[in-house]
Amino acid sequence: MYKEKLEQFLWSVRSPTGAFHMHEGGEIDLRGVYCAVSVARLTNIYSNALFEDSAHWIASCQTYEGGFSSVPGTEAHGGYAFCGLAALRLLNKEHLCDMNALLRWLVNRQMRFEGGFQGRTNKLVDGCYSFWQGGAFPLLHRILNEENVNTVSGERWLFHQEALQEYILVCCQHSSGGLIDKPNKPRDIYHTCYTLSGLSIAQHSPGGKLCVVGGDRNELECVEPAYNISTKAALDAMTYFYKLPAVSLS
């Protein structure tokens, strides 16, 4: 892989504020900085200079509700909340986030009747938020454990794991294969990916304990939430790239 070219590209889409454009000349939002830092960490091209001020820009996207918005001053949203938290985690700047406010916002996004997650306040449940909201909980769990918060369970995430699995298995499977947003919606690759990722998060509890609804035949491979790839794939990537000579254009 052309690591030098990859780093050049990241510099080319970097904003002076520490945010990142989605592509050259493209929009700026939290997706950009999350994608940039996750790629940089996995491929060992991370540098402090490349991500100078990024954490403070991310923190400025946390809203009065506790979630994160796409850019400062807009509405909190599940996808951006995950990107904001995961990016801060990868930058080792979690302390800039109001964790109590974020946790309060996240736990209130799981709907009592359906069991699935909504993406924003007063919106309908959507299967893809099984990961965008659900995937934030393992990250929060690790952060709270590191802060010695004694109220965090050693056996469960801070959401109802069985209820989420039931929503996915009962309401989000298409009869011809693939997964969906909600009943009577068409199947697509996007919802198939993120709904399955959320199902994996719900199945794999802290410490490797399994919580699988429907028996062993439903068990999925464990996902590393910060990257949304399997734990093995994340370890393999970092093992490979961190053995290569470091490259820095900064």
**Residues labelled as active-site residues:** 77, 120, 123, 126, 128-129, 181, 188, 191
Query: From CA 82, how far away is CA 119, in angstroms rounded?
Result: 11
Q: How many CA atoms lie within 13 A of 238 on its CB side?
A: 13
Query: From CA 42, how far away is CA 150, in angstroms rounded?
Result: 31
DSSP code string of 129-175: HHHHTTTHHHHHHHHHHHTT-TTS-SS--SS-HHHHHHHHHHHSB-T
Query: From CA 165, how far away is CA 149, in angstroms rounded?
Result: 27
Per the listing, tokens 């009747």 go with 113
> What sign does the CA torsion over 57, 44, 132, 211 have?
negative
Question: Based on the number of CB atoms within 10 Å of its own CB, is 99 exposed (0-12), middle (13-18) or buried (19 or more)?
Answer: middle
Q: What are phi and psi of 125, to 5 degrees?
A: -65, 145
